[in-house]
Amino acid sequence: MLSSIAGTASGAKPVRPPDTIQLAAQITSADDAFLAARDAFRSGDAGRGAIYAQRVSALDPRHPLIAYLDYWVLTRQIRDYGDALTAAAPDDDIRRFIDRNPGSVVADLARRDWLLALGKRGEWKTFEAQMPKFALNDDAQVTCFQLAARAIRQIRGVSSPAEATEGGEADNASVDGLLRAARAALAQPRDYSSDTGACATLARVLVAEKRIDQQEIWTWMRLASDANNAGAARRYALLLSDGDRGGDNPRFYRQLDAVLDKPALWIAKAGGDGAGRWRRELAALAFSRIARADPAMGFIGLQQHGSELLTSSETSYVYAQLAAAAAKKQMVEANEWSRKSLAAENLSEDILGWQARGALRAEDWKLVETLIEKMPAEMRRAQAAEGTWAYWLGRAYKAQKKNDAATAQFVQVADQFGFYGQLSTEELGQKITLPTRAQPATDAEVAAVRARPGFARALYFYKLDLRREGNLEWNFTLRGMNDRELLASAEFASRNQLLDRAVNTADRTRNEHDFAFRFLMPFRPQMLEKTTAAGLDLDWVYGLIRQESRFVQVARSSVGASGLMQLMPSTARYVARKIGLDGYRPDGVADLDTNLTLGTSYLRMVLDDLDNLPVLATAAYNAGPGRPRAWRSTLIRPVEGAIFAETIPFNETRDYVKKVMSNATYYSVLITGMPQSLKARMGFVAQRGFTPTELPERDVQ
């Protein structure tokens, strides 16, 4: 294919700077030409990318990554085909490409792009023939097209939209399963990305077949509003019937825009100038948007205008919004409002979760039980959210002396190795230990996995410092591996100093485990030196680094944090100045010795600043010390560290604290050889008035 890529997919001559050919000719390394081609394709300049790709082929026709150059050219053709009905079908080119690269991630990416193009064009027969071969199967838009194809075939009994007139219907069980899957896909606002996208196509098919009623559409609009996705709410509204929009489309959309953009003003005008159901639904949206921004103002507005604008059901929904927003802001009113919301239905998982956290923070165990039992079964099963709600339901049962029910919950969660698996183990009267260590991988087992082409491509990407592409190749190669193969792959990663891949690969085993890989301890002499100097526990710092960088020394986050301990530039400068680090230079922050010195020194500072409580210091390392101070100041009584962690308002920081503390517990078992207690490590957090600190803060969402 590289011999023909100097032109665009349509055959036209590419527009390019006059010196591109000369610049390409000056490149003497195939790797450098590959990187130049990648940059050009990523910037959308296919013509320039083609020139550099030809240079790669000229310098090294067998370059290990040459298939990616073919893919970048091919995907441009595929997208043109999907966007323009007059474009020539590239089906034969795609099939040849896939046949040349069997079982590879790049072939699967080409098939994904092909499926998206086929879905856009409504070529369902070819789509359904290719869909079972899509190994990644991780694209929400492809899933919506797949469900649309099934709907056309199963509900209408046809193979293409052109035939969809009076087709017969498939059996009810098959259709019911399809509709459940379709509703689950359509209720994800983040995936409902355009009026003409895959999920919109699916929705229009189901609405046309009268398989989705108007109430369900209003529910999706509420979910979109809950997710602060006004665009998706507007797109869902396009599915409403004229009758549900009051028969006056322009007027309805003006009202909807006002609700989504300036809800308080809309409420102040007593709900606009509409009437009927759609006015009530818009009022519920308006109140919920006000509640999320300012729960106190939302409550006042509800008291003033709720009775004239809402039914009792809609009022319950608004109280749920108020309760969740108040819990996130750690307001004492949260639980009162939760009790007024118990009749509300079809709430998002985020709203239900925050209502439960509000009750948890107050240790109102009866309300915790009521709210968790109100969650959908899928949300509170032991495997969901790493056992969060199954564990806390068990705790609620235990607090109310429902011991058998509590034990049943803990038993289900204790099989897991994460934060709540550890806590559940302790609730069952046991300490944290390690599973029996699997037999190490043999040289023969390592040699067998080393021979897989995907690993060779991954290693080449890592050599070029393209970690994202390398990780994609590595993870794709792991698909379908048994535990022995995974352990051999972890050993192979370790031998190649791919410490993050060793950890992540060992994490995937199901029955045979090696926690020495899951919880690697590299750089131990340096770690001992720095943690001892800072007076920190080695297990805690290892647990933090495992979460921050997975031991990748060159790791750099999207916000600029660097090195093993992911130090922000401003934090590194502050700490270097405070400790008088001689010769500090910002460009050396990723250096192992410098990074560990600054990171452990900063961790010592935040630990001292927060009363020597590791759970608070861990939160501070991620979110800045001012935030855990503020969260702590709103406590009305001392709470367990686990409760404090679960009620942290920032999703990233909440997950971070739980993972770091869980990691540290396992590291402690490995280091001491003794059973450990996560509950003891988490301790208790007591209320303390907020005081400012000079320590640098950190931007976290």
Q: Is 359 left (phi over 0), alpha (psi -120 to 50) or beta?
A: alpha
Phi, psi of 92, rounded to the nearest 5 degrees: -65, -40
| CA–CA separation, 15 and 47 (whole Å) | 7
| CA–CA separation, 295 and 284 (whole Å) | 14
Distances in Å between the alpha carbon of 99 and those of 111, 136, 437? 11, 17, 41
H helix runs in 262-387, sequence order:
263-268, 277-293, 295-309, 312-328, 334-339, 349-361, 365-374, 377-380
Count the Cβ atoms, other than its own, within 10 Å of residue 372: 27
Count the Cβ atoms, other than its own, within 10 Å of residue 593: 12
Burial class (CB in 10 A: 0-12, 13-18, 19+), 588: middle
Contact, 629 vs 690, CB < 8 A? yes
Distances in Å between the alpha carbon of 625 and those of 312, 547, 556, 606, 684? 43, 18, 22, 7, 18
- Tell me which H or E stretch contains 541: helix 538-548
Distances in Å between the alpha carbon of 497 and those of 490, 492, 552? 10, 9, 9
| CA–CA separation, 497 and 91 (whole Å) | 41
SS3 685: strand
Helix, strand, coil percent values for the chain (each to nearest 5): 65, 0, 35
Let me know the angle formed at the C-alpha of 649 by 218 and 371, rounded to the nearest 5 degrees. Answer: 55
Distances in Å between the alpha carbon of 662 and those of 114, 475, 645, 656, 671? 42, 24, 12, 10, 14
Distances in Å between the alpha carbon of 282 and those of 218, 251, 561, 568? 9, 13, 43, 43
Catalogue the active-site residues.
Answer: 548
Pull the structure tokens for residue 476: 């794709």
Contact, 524 vs 551, CB < 8 A? no
Q: Which of 633, 626, 644 is nearest to 685 (CA)?
A: 644
Count the Cβ atoms, other than its own, within 10 Å of residue 604: 18
